Amino acid sequence: MTNDNVLLRVEDLVKHFPINQGIIIQRQVGAVHAVDGISFDIHRSETLGLVGESGCGKSTTGRTILQLYRPTSGHVYFDEIDLVNLKGNDLRKMRRRMQMIFQDPYASLNPRMTVGEIIGEPLVVHTISHGKAIERRVAELLELVGLNPAFANRYPHEFSGGQRQRIGVARALALQPDLIVCDEPISALDVSIQAQVVNLLEDLQKQFGLTYLFIAHDLSMVRHISNRVAVMYLGIIVELAEQNELYDNPYHPYTQALLSAVPIPDPSVEDRRRRIILEGDVPSPVNPPSGCRFRTRCKFAKEICSVEKPEWREIQPDHFVACHFAGELG
Amino acid sequence: MPEVLLDVQDLETQFRTSDGIVYAVNGVSFHLQEGETLGIVGESGCGKSVTMLSLLRLIPSPPGKIANGKALFLGQDLLTISDEAVRQIRGGQISMIFQDPMTSFNPVLTIGRQVSEPLEIHLGMSHKEALNRVVELLDLVGIPNAQDRINDYPHQFSGGMRQRVMIAMALSCNPQILIADEPTTALDVTIQAQIVELVKRLRDEVGMSVIWITHDLGIIAGLADRVAVMYGGYIIEEAPVKELYSHPQHPYTIGLLGSLPRLDRKQHHRLTSIDGLPPVLYEKPHYCPFAPRCKFAVEKCRKENPSLEKYDTSHYLACWVDTETGSER
């Protein structure tokens, strides 16, 4: 099953975080099932949106793909090379091709380093260039993300949230990666600044043919930027489809509820909309429900839902869903 | 003609900091009618929360100072009456819910104890009566097993449940005005929908007025009757909700609406971002605070600060430029 167009293939990825108890002798008493068996692929130069509510495992997915967390089981194929089995130098070489932009632009930049050092550090770590060459490259990168190259000698605290996020983008671009994992890159920013950063990301994608995994909880923004969208709930992907298809024909009851909960900035549309209000909260990932994860909040749940895990199936061409009754619900 | 409950005039609030005085609110006027929901929209630092905290006298002084203005609640000025009188109104006739339900509760007191407190203080109930009422209130806001949960502590509730408890507490003394300061910002979108529905239902049942502060133009669209947009410590546009979304006039409002992607839109258009950054308010702007970021700005915008004037029936605007023609009004 090889496809030249696929940059990243994730197979049955699992990440459990152990829960330990005891003071001297630590015993594992349980595990947080943060990511519990997910599979998808990302094509070259596309943006895959990964949406879900807090605690559903979307950030863990991003970090596990980059091997910042080592997966409990499963495979991550980057250009047909399985990252899970790589170590040391081999892994570092691969990391050059995949970078990350973090959510919090205040926490993800070292306050004691100048902007130039921050952006230049990947070049030093990967011994790509030295001295003046780094300075030139940093200036080039700053210009690329819409900042004044003279800012290289300043410190992060001198910048606003949106500008810091641009610095984060410049750092991610320094090694000319193929894949960038954007972990909620705009959630901490003001509305008018969000649009600036999203437009920048789109421009850079066009210019360099970048591939994005765009993790976010803002469904409107994900629809705007993504080619395909995957919806996560409690450690698994419940639905995945091309963006217009997913938003027009959601099959999974969770996707339907999630979409209906997003407010639309237009009072005349809001007047006519019917909300699906979900009862209760997301269950604990330490003890996820048996069978279908969503059954405890699903109004369509039947007996089979608590017994059998719904199969991941292709209900329409390129539209995948994990629900026993997908297509039969009103 | 419905009664005007709250009439705020020319409110100015400043903070003294080590870097100089921050002019957070620079002359804000608005009113709230009985049974009405007013939305106040703006980005962080625009003065929307400080406005509300000022009129409830919750600004710590020093460093804060209410420099000017009136806040008439049923005829009496909240800014000049005694501390004791304000305390009677706060939590009683006017109550407030906050953004972060984790930090606004006391972590070492049970929920029952905290929610019953305003009942004992404002309505003079005994502790036992108050606890019975708390169970009813928790039921009303949709907390399962309310009877058992009054002995739980805040950390034993999820974020959405905590926000419900906060709403129960705010509603306990049948307030005439509920001020909601970004109550859903910290919550997930499905939980946000639960809370918005809850407030809408309670508002219609109890018949109170609501001031809803948010940065999310989406929530306001389905909730408010009237919307005021704030920028740099000023209200720059105010209109009935449908009018504001269909005919925004201020370049900032237009930009804000353009920078929002819409879930119900298919076409992949570029977002119209607003360039530049929000102002730092170390000096009181003597010209339009939005002028440095405004693509319509003309000479006059950099010289004089426009005041909020009537643009159309019940549509108010503070701008020198006609955005349709691009020329001065």
Residue for token pair 């950063």: A197
- Nearest-Cα distance to chain B for A204, in Å, is 14
Please list every residue in chain A whose beta carbon sits closer than 8 Å to the beta carbon of residue B271.
Answer: 195, 198-199, 224
- Report CB contact under 8 Å: B270, A194: no
Mean pLDDT for B75-90 is 90
Taking an 8 Å cut-off on Cβ atoms, the answer to whether B259 and A219 are in contact is no
Question: What does the pLDDT look like over A79-136, one tens digit per residue?
Answer: 989 999 998 889 998 999 999 999 888 889 999 999 999 999 999 998 888 888 999 9
Which domains are assigned to chain A?
3-97+177-322 (3.40.50.300)
Residues 6+ apart with CB under 8 A from B288: B294, B297, B301, B302, B304, B305, B306, B318, B319, B320
pLDDT at residue A1 is higher than 50: no
The three-class DSSP label of residue A323 is coil
Give B222's contacts (C-beta < 8 A, 6+ positions apart).
A263, A264, A267, A270, A271, A273, B196
Identity of the residue in A163, A263, A278 whose CB atom sits nearest the CB atom of B190? A278
Count Cβ–Cβ pairs < 8 Å, chain A vs chain B: 127
* CA separation for the pair A215, B110 (Å, rounded): 37
Across A186-195, average pLDDT = 85
Q: Which chain A residues are within 8 Å of B193, Cβ to Cβ?
A: 260-261, 275, 277-278
CA distances from A102 to A105, A173, A214, A225, A263 (A): 7, 13, 11, 17, 26
Is residue A238 within 8 Å of residue A321, measured between CB atoms?
A: yes
Min Cα–Cα distance to chain A from B251, Å: 12
* Complete edge-to-edge strand list for the sheet that includes strand B20-33: B20-33, B4-17, B64-73, B76-77
Option in B197, B259, B277 nearest A160 (CB): B277
**A280-323 residue pLDDT tens:** 778 888 889 999 999 999 989 889 999 999 999 999 999 999 99
Q: What's chain A's average pLDDT? A: 90
Q: How far is CA B165 from CA A281, B45, B96, B160, B233, in A?
A: 15, 28, 13, 9, 31
Residue A160's pLDDT band, with cuts at 50, 70 and 90, is confident
Report the alpha-carbon distance of residue A44 to residue A4 in Å, rounded.
9
| φ/ψ of residue A50, rounded to 5 | -125, 110
Mean pLDDT of A190-208: 90
Question: What does the pLDDT read at residue B227?
Answer: 95
pLDDT tens digit string along B132-180? Answer: 999 988 988 888 888 888 899 998 888 888 888 988 898 888 899 999 9
Q: What does the buried/exposed string (b/e) look like for B86-118 if buried means 16 or more CB atoms within 10 Å of the residue's CB?
A: beebbbbbbbbbbbbbeebbeeeebbbbbbbbb
Q: Does A224 touch chain B (CB under 8 A)?
A: yes
The average pLDDT across B56-78 equals 89
**Which residues of B fall within a CB distance of 8 Å from A277?**
190, 193-194, 197
B166 to B58, B117, B283: CA distances (angstroms): 18, 12, 37
Q: Is the pLDDT of residue A152 over 80?
A: yes
The model's confidence at residue B267, banded by pLDDT at 50, 70 and 90, is: low
For A39, A156, A158, A174, the CA distances from A164, given in Å and listed in that order, are: 33, 7, 9, 15
Mean residue pLDDT of chain B comes to: 88
* pTM given for the model: 0.87
CA distance B253 to chain A (A): 10
d(CA A30, CA A49): 31
In angstroms, the separation between the Cα of residue A269 and the nearest Cα of chain B is 8
Q: Which chain B residues are closer than 8 Å to A294 by Cβ?
A: none
pLDDT at A72: 94
For residue A201, the one-letter residue type is L
Q: Do B263 and A267 touch (CB under 8 A)?
A: no
* ipTM value greater than 0.90: no
Q: Which residues contact B63 (CB under 8 A, 6 or more apart)?
A: B15, B16, B17
Predicted pLDDT at A330: 57
pLDDT in tens, A167-178: 999 999 999 999
What strands, in cross-sheet order, belong to the sheet with A27-43?
A: A27-43, A6-21, A73-78, A81-82
pLDDT at B1 (0 to 100): 59
Which candidate, A136, A124, A121, places its Cα nearest to that of A171?
A: A121
> What value does the mean pLDDT take over residues A43-48?
94
Query: Among partner residues A192, A194, A262, which is closest to B189 by beta-carbon distance?
Result: A262
Cβ–Cβ < 8 Å for B216, B204 = no
pLDDT of residue A3: 61
Q: Which of A108, A263, A292, A98 is nearest to A185 (CA)?
A: A108
Q: Once rounded to an integer, what is the mean pLDDT over residues B44-66?
A: 89
